[in-house]
Amino acid sequence: MRLSGTTTGSTPLSSPEFHAEITPSHLENKTAFRDEVYVNSESDNVVPIVDRRENNELSRSLKQRHIQMIALAGAIGTGLFLSLGGALQTGGPLGALLGYAFVGAVVCAVQFALGEVSALFPVTGSFVRHAEFIFDPALGFAVGWNVVYGTYLSVPSEISAALVLIQYWTDKYPALWITIFIVITFLVGIVFVGVYGEVEFFFAMLKILLVVGVVIMGLIIDLGGVSGQERIGFRYWSNPGPFVEYLSSGSWGQFLGFWAVMNNAVYSFAGVESLSVAAAETQNPRQNIPKACKRVFARVTILYLLSVLIVGMLVPSNDSALDDYSGTASESPFVIAATRAGINAVPSIINAIVLTSAWSASNQSLLAGTRILYGLALKKQAPQVFLRTTKYGIPYVCVILQTLVATLAYMSLSNGALTVFYWFLDLTAAGTLVSWSVILFNHIRLHQGLKKQGIAKEELPWHHWWTPYTSWAALASCILFLLTGGFSVFVNGNWDTATFISSYLDIPLVIVAYSGWKIFKRTKIIPLDEIPIRDALDEIVRAPEEKIPPSRGWRRLNIFWG
């Protein structure tokens, strides 16, 4: 499985000496240099890690600030604004805070694992292609099609959610609104990828401003800063209490409430793994993708946990207003608190930002689905027609197919059809945990390969001493989340077929896809000593990136995109 027999010295890739040694004098003409590298590689019988087609046909137009904010846009979705009320009801203020903190720690481990592997293998399709290099091509096939299926159905789902949000203001012309969202999503996906980056950058900034704004507003309300409102403080942590009993009584019921919050929190963070799926379209991916990954910890801590904390201070867990399941801003606990404080403009502002979140999620699903399908086609695991690109480097056949699937959003015009549509969507509800598990497993296998081949982890473009341990802990947590995702249906009198399907059917689907491709193609598990780690390191030497200068001055304090 070795891709080349070339070896290099043990100089760490992150050292100044390494960058000074490998930077060619003609690096200014990067395109010509890459072509030259690939020609020489072919003549030496070297198969490059980054496929020649993705290297030459896709456009590296996503800049550092784009990829950083795509990660943020994936971490902050409609779940943060609308679902916190449900988490508060189920687990109580402390249960919700601990649940989101625990899942946030798992997400951080996932992101660091993804960053380390992506820096070594910056390929389109991200962890799907990594599984092929590191474990078994059959695993890449199974998880890749699982992600494609989930992301393709997510686009009409998000468009349907956007329609519900618009109905907060008006219920007229629903078909027209769906058509507008489909057309706009298609245009963002088919034009220059840099346009997608700018759109996501703008949406992410709106989300940051909204979260900061509602947190400040919440603190003002809680501390009695609104005229006519008394100070609340941590009153609701005492009465009705820090935890809520769920499905049982006593300490066991409180634990189940906390666990239910944790399972719900997983899906609030869904999408953070998509920041590297367009690695071949990112400038200096070996540097920019790790930078985006390591920012997640600060974002999770500051944005998510502060939001959960403030919500638990503003609204009691037994508040009847939390029973609103309209799918609009009216169910947000921030809106409930603001309305009671007489701040009437907040509901429309939050609903508008959540509307952009739904559109942003639609755009992100389109990017992830089309790029992973393109990556599958590169490895002949999907029809070759999906390799066709525009002159701007966009896989337009993938985009057209996903746009056609997006027309399923019209099913929301019929209640019966919408029910069937969500049954299909529920089949991949556990796909997020499957993807996270594969990311962590890839990382663990990479470090096992390093040890087997006698390569120091310091040679990796990006590494941390603790990540081998956190990946094991996070993988165990993801498997536990996956197996207990539908635990509520096993409680007497609480069986629900749809919940059971959404929680567990994805597991056998992935197993069947893996086994089927393995039998059909007779793929083999790659031995640890044949994982192409040295070949990837050699490719870094043959095609080095320009060194990104470190941030200086006030930019060093920027935790969001710098």
Give, rounded to a whole angstrom, the gap between the first and last alpha carbons of the chain: 38
Residue 124 contacts residue 54 (beta carbons within 8 Å): yes
Residue 362 lies in a domain: no
Return the structure tokens found at 531.
């994982």
Lowest model confidence (mean pLDDT) among 116-125, 215-224, 275-284: 275-284
Residue 152 contacts residue 369 (beta carbons within 8 Å): yes
Q: What is the rounded average pLDDT for all residues in the chain?
A: 81
Residue 211 lies in a domain: no
Residue 407 lies in a domain: no
Question: Cβ contacts of residue 546 below 8 Å, gap of 6+?
Answer: 23, 27, 30, 284
Residue 280 lies in a domain: yes
pLDDT at 555: 56
Residue 124 lies in a domain: yes
pLDDT at 58: 67
pLDDT at 63: 72
Residue 104 lies in a domain: yes
Residue 229 contacts residue 439 (beta carbons within 8 Å): no
Q: Is the pLDDT of residue 208 over 70?
A: yes
pLDDT at 41: 42
Pick from 500, 521, 467, 557: nearest CA to 139? 521
Q: Which amino acid does the sequence have at 209?
A: L
CA–CA gap between residue 282 and residue 289 (Å, rounded): 8
Q: Is the pLDDT of residue 12 over 80?
A: no
CA–CA gap between residue 65 and residue 424 (Å, rounded): 35
CA–CA gap between residue 163 and residue 173 (Å, rounded): 10
For the stretch 21-65, pLDDT in tens is 333 333 333 333 343 334 344 444 445 666 666 665 666 667 767
Residue 355 contacts residue 206 (beta carbons within 8 Å): no
Q: Which amino acid does the sequence have at 517?
A: W
In this structure, the number of other CB atoms found within 10 A of the CB of residue 505 comes to: 16
Pick from 242, 296, 251: nearest CA to 91? 242
Question: Count of domains in the chain?
Answer: 1
**To the nearest whole percent, how much of the chain has pLDDT over 70?**
81
Q: What is the CA radius of gyration of the chain?
A: 24
What's 527's DSSP letter? P
Q: Which residue has the tokens 């890739």?
A: 13
pLDDT at 383: 93
For 142, the domain range is 16-149+223-328+412-557
For the stretch 307-318, pLDDT in tens is 899 999 999 999
Q: Which residue has the tokens 């592997």?
A: 117
pLDDT at 9: 36
CA–CA gap between residue 270 and residue 278 (Å, rounded): 17
Domain CATH number, residue 462: 1.20.1740
Q: Is the pLDDT of residue 70 over 80?
A: no
Return the structure tokens found at 143.
């998880």
SS3 (DSSP) at 561: coil
**What Å distances lie between residue 136 and 124, 140, 426, CA to CA?**
17, 7, 27
pLDDT at 53: 65
Residue 303 lies in a domain: yes
For the stretch 429-443, pLDDT in tens is 788 899 999 999 999
Side-chain half-sphere exposure of 132, counting CA atoms within 13 A: 23
- In the beta sheet, which residues pair with residue 124? 278
Q: Which amino acid does the sequence have at 187?
A: L
Residue 400 lies in a domain: no
SS3 (DSSP) at 429: coil
What's 377's DSSP letter? H
